């Protein structure tokens, strides 16, 4: 190859990678800048994952988790996100503060999800794969925030993207292996199976004989992963616990008597539109397009469209699954555009009018940028006002100096546990991460603790000492005014700073 040809080859490669390279660099700067500049975490569970990953070398595969005394985890702990924590562990030991390395790991994982989606779309001959990959970042600000969280669902997103590739290629053996990995990596091990079933149904509606090996392999791999697991047989109990979590979430806090994470409760349509406008537009337009153009679409496209609509339906029921629908809906549109593109190329009206093509491209790009800019306004709120610094650093330092190691401290709010575990891992607390674990461990005490938290009954020091075997209570300072009795005898404020207080049950 002579020099002019070599130069032309390098130029074509640079042009080909300009769009994806720019997208990945932008994502790296977006998530990296957020991780570097933010004072705290929008999703507080990240503190738990960072500390747990840092403790893995000493904790090992222990099946006890004494940090939650009112929980099934106390004596029957199962790390349902084992591979996620294992991958984070080397990063969490960078420096003296685990959150630094955990953030580095989170940024790399977020960018890896986008890179994997681009690679899959490109492998399946999608035109403009960088555009459709970037489209996910325009679906809504909360999706960007969820993609940047220090939580295992980001690893699940990466695995699901790989699963899409195997589904489209009908590689059932790869799905079997990936299902096994899923059971070791994520809370809900059957995400791949839940995707494969509507995918195969969609291909069948497209006129293709359903390949039942795909869902069977995905499901069998997950079951095998649960059976052959570092925490077997506790893996089954953990899965049943999460079934109960979603059941309670669908009932709502009024019916269940417990307030779970906000991500589990369905949005009203106005709120859904405010958070995910482009996702709603794309999702509602997708079934009509699939129906009208079904004869020109490949069976795999119809399969992916059916899977995307399945996850969108679950997102309507509980926003917990938005990370999947925000990935699959744009991916389905990418395959639809791929299959329908030959119609445009065969149209003389389209090929002969370059200004029309340029205008259409500019309009699509403007819509992408506009919806992404709108999403960033929400994302900025999540990562600033909704991401305060840690609340319990001073309180945990006081407890470490004044309480016996391993002494139990009452935490009225289960969502305070990730920070308490991060800064106060020398102590023990009552409940954490999700009240369902406490409900399964001791329903009577869990319900009492929830009534105390809601202030449906007045806090009684003697009752709390007797029922929870603790001498102290820790609380955010901002929540303390809701419990005025804490500043009255027999309670005594033993420590207080602007963000938290420790109360003695004297």
362: in domain: yes
| CA 212 to centroid of chain Cα atoms | 29
Residue 452 CA, distance from chain mean position: 30
**What's the CA dihedral at 30, 31, 37, 39 to 10 degrees?**
140
pLDDT in tens, 76-130: 899 999 999 999 999 999 988 999 999 999 999 999 999 999 999 999 999 999 9
Q: Are residues 208 and 342 in the same domain?
A: yes
Nearest to 433 by CA among 413, 412, 415: 415
Ranges of the chain whose pLDDT falls below 70: 1-15, 238-265, 348-354
Same domain, 367 and 409: no
Q: Which pLDDT value is given to residue 434?
A: 79
Helix (H), strand (E) at residue 9: helix 3-37
Residue 131, domain member (yes or no):
yes
Rounded to 10°, the helix 98-123/322-345 angle is 30
Looking at the structure of the chain, the number of domains it has is: 2
Going by C-alpha positions, the residue among 243, 224, 240, 241 that lies closest to residue 232 is: 224
* Domain presence at residue 161: yes
Regarding pTM above 0.85, the answer is yes
Q: How far apart are CA 503 and CA 93, in angstroms?
A: 33
The reported pLDDT for the residue numbered 114 is 97
- Residue 10 inside a domain? The answer is no
**Domain final residue pick, 383, 412, 441:** 383
Same domain (yes/no): 256, 401? no
Q: Point out the domain boundary residue: 383, 403, 434.
A: 383
The whole-number pLDDT of residue 140 equals 92
| Residues 369, 251 share a domain | yes
Q: What pLDDT does 263 receive?
A: 62
Q: Is residue 75 part of a domain?
A: no
Q: CA-to-CA distance for 410 and 246, rounded, in angstroms?
A: 26
Answer yes or no: do 375 and 423 share one domain.
no
Instruction: Specify whether 361 is located in the same domain as 463.
Output: no
Cβ burial of 179 (10 Å; 0-12, 13-18, 19+) is buried
Q: What is the pLDDT of residue 233?
A: 87
366 and 414 both lie in a single domain: no
Which residue intervals of 66-147 are DSSP H helices? 82-92, 98-123, 129-135, 141-147
The CA-atom distances, in angstroms, between 221 and each of 79, 180, 189 are 18, 4, 9
Last residue of a domain, one of 329, 350, 383: 383
Q: Which domain holds residue 273?
A: 125-383
In a domain, 4, yes or no: no
**Residue 364 near residue 131 (C-beta atoms within 8 A):** yes
Across the chain, mean pLDDT equals 90
Q: What is the DSSP letter of 274?
A: H
DSSP symbol at 72: G
What does the alpha-carbon distance between residue 375 and residue 274 come to, in Å, rounded to a whole number? 10
Q: Cβ distance 503 to 491 under 8 Å? A: yes
Q: What residues does 503 pair with on adjacent strands?
A: 473, 493
Q: Report in angstroms the alpha-carbon separations of 240 from 81, 153, 180, 229, 253.
A: 15, 18, 18, 16, 20
Do the domain assignments include residue 51?
Answer: no
Cβ 187 vs Cβ 119: under 8 Å = no
Are 447 and 251 contacting, i.e. CB atoms less than 8 angstroms apart?
no
Same domain, yes or no: 271 and 345: yes
- What is the predicted pLDDT for the residue at 253? 47
Task: Flag whether 150 is in a domain.
Answer: yes
């Amino acid at each position: 190859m002579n020099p002019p040809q070599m130069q032309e080859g390098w130029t074509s490669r640079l042009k080909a990678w300009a769009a994806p390279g720019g997208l990945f660099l932008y994502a790296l700067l977006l998530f990296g800048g957020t991780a570097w500049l933010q004072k705290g975490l929008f999703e507080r569970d990240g503190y738990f994952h960072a500390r747990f990953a840092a403790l893995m070398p000493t904790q090992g595969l222990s099946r006890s988790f004494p940090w939650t005394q009112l929980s099934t985890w106390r004596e029957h702990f199962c790390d349902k996100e084992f591979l996620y924590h294992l991958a984070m562990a080397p990063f969490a030991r960078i420096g003296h503060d685990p959150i630094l390395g955990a953030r580095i790991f989170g940024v790399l994982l977020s960018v890896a999800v986008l890179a994997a989606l681009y690679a899959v779309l490109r492998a399946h001959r999608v035109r403009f794969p960088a555009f459709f990959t970037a489209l996910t970042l325009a679906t809504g600000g909360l999706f960007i925030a969820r993609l940047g969280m220090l939580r295992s669902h980001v690893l699940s997103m990466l695995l699901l993207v790989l699963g899409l590739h195997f589904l489209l290629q009908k590689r059932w053996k790869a799905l079997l292996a990936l299902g096994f990995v899923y059971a070791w990596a994520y809370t809900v091990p059957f995400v791949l199976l839940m995707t494969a079933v509507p995918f195969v149904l969609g291909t069948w509606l497209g006129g293709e004989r359903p390949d039942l090996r795909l869902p069977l392999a995905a499901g069998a791999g997950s079951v095998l992963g649960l059976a052959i697991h570092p925490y077997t047989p506790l893996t089954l109990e953990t899965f049943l616990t999460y079934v109960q979590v979603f059941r309670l979430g669908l009932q709502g806090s009024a019916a269940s008597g417990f307030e779970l994470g906000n991500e589990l409760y369905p949005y009203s349509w106005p709120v859904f539109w405010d958070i995910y406008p482009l996702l709603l537009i794309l999702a509602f337009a997708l079934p009509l397009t699939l129906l009208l153009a079904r004869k020109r679409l490949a069976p795999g496209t119809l399969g992916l469209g059916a899977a995307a609509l399945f996850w969108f339906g679950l997102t309507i029921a509980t926003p917990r699954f938005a990370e999947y629908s925000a990935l699959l809906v744009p991916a389905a549109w990418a395959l639809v555009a791929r299959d329908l593109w030959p119609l445009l190329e065969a149209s003389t009206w389209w090929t002969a009018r370059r200004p029309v093509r340029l205008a259409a491209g500019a309009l699509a790009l403007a819509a992408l940028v506009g919806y992404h800019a709108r999403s960033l306004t929400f994302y900025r709120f999540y990562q600033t006002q909704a991401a305060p610094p840690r609340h319990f650093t001073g309180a945990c330092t006081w407890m470490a100096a004044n309480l016996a190691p391993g002494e139990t401290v009452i935490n009225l709010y289960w969502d305070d546990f990730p920070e308490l575990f991060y800064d106060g891992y020398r102590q023990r607390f009552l409940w954490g991460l999700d009240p369902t674990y406490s409900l399964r461990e001791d329903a009577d005490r869990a319900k009492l603790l929830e009534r105390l938290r809601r202030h449906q009954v007045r806090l009684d020091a003697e009752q709390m000492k007797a029922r929870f075997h603790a001498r102290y209570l820790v609380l955010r300072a901002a929540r303390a005014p809701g419990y005025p009795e804490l500043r009255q005898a027999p309670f005594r404020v033993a420590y207080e700073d602007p963000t938290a207080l420790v109360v003695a049950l004297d």
